[in-house]
A = this chain, B = another copy of it.
Amino acid sequence: MTLLITNATLLPCTPEMPVIENGFVQIEGETITATGAGPAPAIDGAETIDVAGDIVMPGMVNPHCHMAMTLFRGLGEDVDDRLYRYVLPLERKFVTPEMVRAGTRLAALELIAGGVTTVADMYYFETEVGRVIDEAGMRGVVGQTIADFDPPDHATIDAGFALTEDLVAEFAGHPRVIASIAPHAPYSTDIAVMNRIARWADDHPGVPVQIHLAEMDSEMDWCAKNHGLRPVEVVEKAGLLRKGLICAHCLHVSESDIEKMARAEVRVAHNARSNAKAGRGIAPVEAMRTAGLPVGIATDGPMSGNTLDLFSQFAPVTMFQKLLGHSRKPMPGVEVIRMATVEGARVLGLDDRIGSLEPGKQADLIRIDMSAPRLQPVYDPYATLVFSAMPDDVRDVMVAGSWLMRDRTVLTLERKQVLRDALQVAARFKAEMTRIDATV
């Protein structure tokens, strides 16, 4: 079966980042077979969708997320010690496979609605996350967290590895879900454990490794005090600073750290809103990209960043670099969209399959409705996407040739049921918070 999408403002996100007016995309099954300008080829029996000038671009890539934490969105937002007062006690008490499923489904609804087709996740009971991504029809890299702080799903490191082995077994050969292992951070996963993960990863070459890295002042202090090193150096010492490591945050990276990271060929997931909301600072994205590091645009978990779409990140991503550079010039719109698509795919090691609209790649694409008055006029679609568009402008979403959303209705998840399940958990959280407030 051939599908032709025609009359698009086509942003294929190929290296030159062209804007193709009256563009078309030809799809056979799950694969793109042709793209171009002008009228689409005439193909017998093909289904044709005329998108009337709307933007068609690759589905976006969110390379760092904690999907299940939708259930914590806005919880204790202005409470100074919310992590120790609410979040950790709630996680200890309530994080179960069922809770992870409920929160991840709510996240999947939001991600699809906002045009994100591929997400990298790190949380607990990660097999559940993979299952939800599978049922939602999305693409995902699902990372089982390994940490020392007695996390909700593994009392020992051995138990963490066992969960990871289950995850790897469940998704072996899956076309869209990739199992991953996720040492939490240099301060929360012992250096010996990180080294064990490095050796495990040697034996599992198809399993990406994700880590939180160089995110906080307290992490800098911890690494200095315990190892006399910077966070990047601790990870290096553990043998983990290696090709393909997906590093989230990377705020506190010096020139020499960036050199090490580039030499090691790691990748970076930039979480602009989450970092700024915590007052942590601005990651040196321009410097990292100049050094050749691929940098994707990520949302972090919704407790930290509150939204899971990338549109909410675009203006912060570029504004922060302009503020750092004290100039209007850094990080033009076209680079932001490159990061949200093909560069994000490179961060996850998936750029051979997704991230741009090219023959041979998977048909992961989105259609953006340009009719809202707040988007008009359009002089440059990249500027419009970065500074004016919002997740609600996404109209249709396709992954691997299958529609996940048409006319703003997500087809793969039962919206009402998903909301009902999520709000049930939130009600339990609220009751527990009331109990905590009464006790403390």
Contacts and interface: CB of A to CB of B under 8 A. Distances in A.
Across the A-B interface, the 8 shortest Cβ-Cβ residue pairs: A377-B426, A306-B387, A77-B383, A74-B383, A279-B322, A276-B319, A78-B332, A279-B327
A276 B323 contact: yes
Interface string A251-280: 000000000000000000000010011111
22 contacts: A70-B377, A74-B383, A74-B387, A75-B379, A75-B380, A77-B333, A78-B383, A110-B374, A113-B374, A114-B374, A273-B319, A276-B322, A279-B322, A280-B326, A281-B323, A282-B323, A308-B374, A316-B319, A376-B426, A377-B422, A377-B429, A390-B391
Identify whether the interface residues of A are mostly helix, strand, loop, or mixed: helix
A329 interface: yes
Interface residues of A, number: 68
Interface string A54-83: 000000000000000011011111101000
A315 to B, nearest CB: 6
- Most B Cβ at <10 Å: residue of A281, A328, A418: A328
Please give the count of copies of this chain that the complex contains. 2
A330 interface: yes
Contact of A277 (B281, B319, B377): B319
Given A75-B380, A277-B315, A390-B391, 5 more contacts: A78-B380, A276-B322, A309-B374, A312-B315, A376-B422
A430 interface: yes
A76 B379 CA distance: 8
B109 A373 contact: yes
Contact of A415 (B70, B334, B373): B373
A261 to B, nearest CB: 23
Contacts of A308: 374
A20 interface: no
A339 interface: no
Interface string A22-56: 00000000000000000000000000000000000
Contact of A379 (B315, B325, B390, B430): B430
A188 interface: no
A422 B306 CA distance: 35
